[in-house]
Chain A
Amino acid sequence: MKIDKELIAASTTPLILSVLLEGESYGYEIIKKVKEASGATIDWSEGMVYPALRRLEDQGLLEARWVTPESGRRRRYYSLTPKGRKALAAERQAWLSVHSTLTRLWRPHPWPA
């Protein structure tokens, strides 16, 4: 199953924000976690996640800081701001309402249609 491009684009914000609900993380790890959680059905063009992170940061939903570990690479870690949490709560409401609408509409029909 391949998820449509536009749906992937629309879900980028809630996906990123949801991963960060667990705590701060960096681009590569965020992408990996989403891939795992989706069972590899969500296949981002990986580079595109970075402009999205930039946009969320500009909107004040994320905060970023560079972390240099004792051994290893310097990475940019992102974490949710209070505003980001609020935005995620709103996204959650919206997605749950779409989900429950579809579920209700599909219920009377035997599947596959």
Chain B
Amino acid sequence: MAGVEQSLGEWRRSLARSGVLSEEDLDELETHVRDTIEDLEPTGLSQEEALLVALRRVGDPSLLAVEFEKVRPGLAWARRFYWMIAGVLTFGLLWQGAKLLIYSSALGASIVGLSAAAGAIAALVLALGGVAAVMIHSTVRPGGRLARRLQGGAGWLSKRPFVCGVGILAATGAASLAGNLTLARFVHFPAEAGSLSEALFEVALVASVSPLIAALGLFLLARRLSRGAELQT
């Protein structure tokens, strides 16, 4: 029996490695195999033999993964891609944060440190929102319960990707403009202007990349949700 459990676990892991099957899919297939083994009991096969028959009937894991991939095209790659984005972003933002701390302490101007930090935090929130949106996009199933809950304005937004993008860009632009104006008004630029502008450049860079990611994430999510909405009707 222990041998059967071990082989079943290995089979499950080999299916999971494809990255296309969800935990639910794996649970469902595993139950199927266990049901088959149970039904084979009266035939007098040993558990190990019954397992072999059951796995054979279910089919080759790699062929199975191909079929699941057809149902959810690109899902495996989308997931990997999203994790990559999330990793790069997190690293980048942490790095920026550390830099800002160094700059602000070196400049000694607390207002510079504060507004730069505020800009970086705004960018961080925006970017994480975008990453969260792409992550939800990768797990949400059109027509599923989560999709129904999130649908709301998604249909409207998905038909207007341009409005989404411009809206997000405009909001970030307005925020960074306001921040910069405040900065210019209250701060007398110190002698080390080079390092200050460098610091601002870094913030601007992060602040301009993050809305793009946020826009992409929201757009993808909205499109997927609206597909679910179409399925409902």
Contact = CB atoms under 8 A, between A and B. Distances in A.
B28 A27 contact: yes
Contacts of A26: 31
Nearest to B28: A76
A50 B31 contact: no
B27 A28 contact: no
A48 B32 contact: no
Interface string B46-81: 000000000001110001100110111000000000
Interface residue tally of chain B, by bracket? 20 to 34
A59 B28 contact: no
B31 A74 contact: yes
A73 interface: yes
A35 to B, nearest CB: 11
Interface string A29-73: 000000000000000011110110011011110000010000001
Given A58-B142, A73-B35, A76-B24, A47 B71 contact: no
A5 B29 CA distance: 22
A72 to B, nearest CB: 10
A47 B58 CA distance: 4
Contacts of B36: 28, 46
B232 A60 contact: yes
A66 B27 CA distance: 11
Given A28-B36, A73-B35, A50 B143 contact: no
B71 A28 contact: no
Which of B34, B35, B142 has its CB near the most chain A CB atoms (within 10 A)?
B35
A106 B186 CA distance: 93
Contact of A51 (B34, B35, B57, B67): B67
Contacts of B12: none
A14 B178 CA distance: 61
A74 B25 CA distance: 13
Given A46-B57, A60-B232, A54 B25 contact: yes
Interface of A: 26-28, 45-48, 50-51, 54-55, 57-60, 66, 73-76
